[in-house]
Amino acid sequence: MKKIAIFASGNGSNAEHISRYFFQKDSAEVHLILTNNPNAGVLARAEDLNISAVVFNREEFSGSDKINDLLLAAEIDFIVLAGFLWLVPLNILRAFRNKIVNIHPALLPKYGGKGMYGSRVHEAVIASGDSKSGITIHYVNEKYDDGQIIFQAEVAVKPTDTADRLAAKIHELEHAYFPVVIEEVVEKL
Ligand code: GAR
């Protein structure tokens, strides 16, 4: 059974969907949920799901080996970023080479990079007049939203869509595809 750790900074709906998906699988489980935000909704979800959670600060994450050591001590096999807003430091990238994936709520390489997260992405897509958006699941490297793309799915952007409406459509896609894509990648480890 492979052990997955999920990093999330906010609400955590993806973290919950992924966790529940693997409740029914023998191949992998979500072993740990980690957040940089002590007020993140993902913490209440972790408690409901009965999954251990860890809150950390910037020094612990990228100024020391504390979080990397914790992941290694827990024998984590695979890391998922699900709405996680900090760059992953080199010590963790090296320890988990090609074993960290992120989801981005747009069709990369468009609408990615530093500061492009959550509603800001959807507002930018709507302001551009693009007729489609979607989700991108990609490997994580030392830059924001830059690693090799694993999977994309598209959704139409209607002239009547608001950023909130588009966010809801994107979340539906994320919840449908992210757990399955993680399973496919983890199976090949
Ligand atoms: C998701 O839409 C995810 O794609 C996005 O944050 C949301 C988190 O939702 N991630 C980014 O924007 C990263 N650049 P959730 O907390 O409900 O899973």
Query: Does the C-beta of 89 come closer than 6 Å to ligand 1?
Result: no
Tens-place pLDDT, residues 1-29: 999 999 999 999 999 999 999 999 999 99
Count of the separate structural domains present in the chain: 1
Contact predicate 179/17, CB 8 Å: yes
Of 17, 104, 122, 138, the active-site residue reads 104
Tens-place pLDDT, residues 112-170: 999 999 899 999 999 999 999 999 999 999 999 999 999 999 999 999 999 999 999 99
Give the per-residue pLDDT at 141: 96
Q: Whose CA is nearest to atom 7 of ligand 1?
A: 83
In CATH, what number is assigned to the domain containing residue 75? 3.40.50.170
Give the per-residue pLDDT at 186: 98
> Which atom of ligand 1 has the smallest separation from the CA of 17?
18
Residues 6+ apart with CB under 8 A from 71: 5, 32, 79, 92, 95, 96
Query: Does the C-beta of 121 come closer than 6 Å to ligand 1?
Result: yes
Tens-place pLDDT, residues 46-78: 999 999 999 999 999 999 999 999 999 999 999
Give the per-residue pLDDT at 70: 98
Please give the residue range of the domain that contains residue 69: 2-187
Residue 63 CA, ligand 1 centroid: distance in Å: 25
Mean pLDDT, rounded, of the chain: 97
Give the per-residue pLDDT at 131: 97
Residue 104 CA, ligand 1 centroid: distance in Å: 7
- 171 classed as catalytic: no
Tens-place pLDDT, residues 90-110: 999 999 999 999 999 999 999
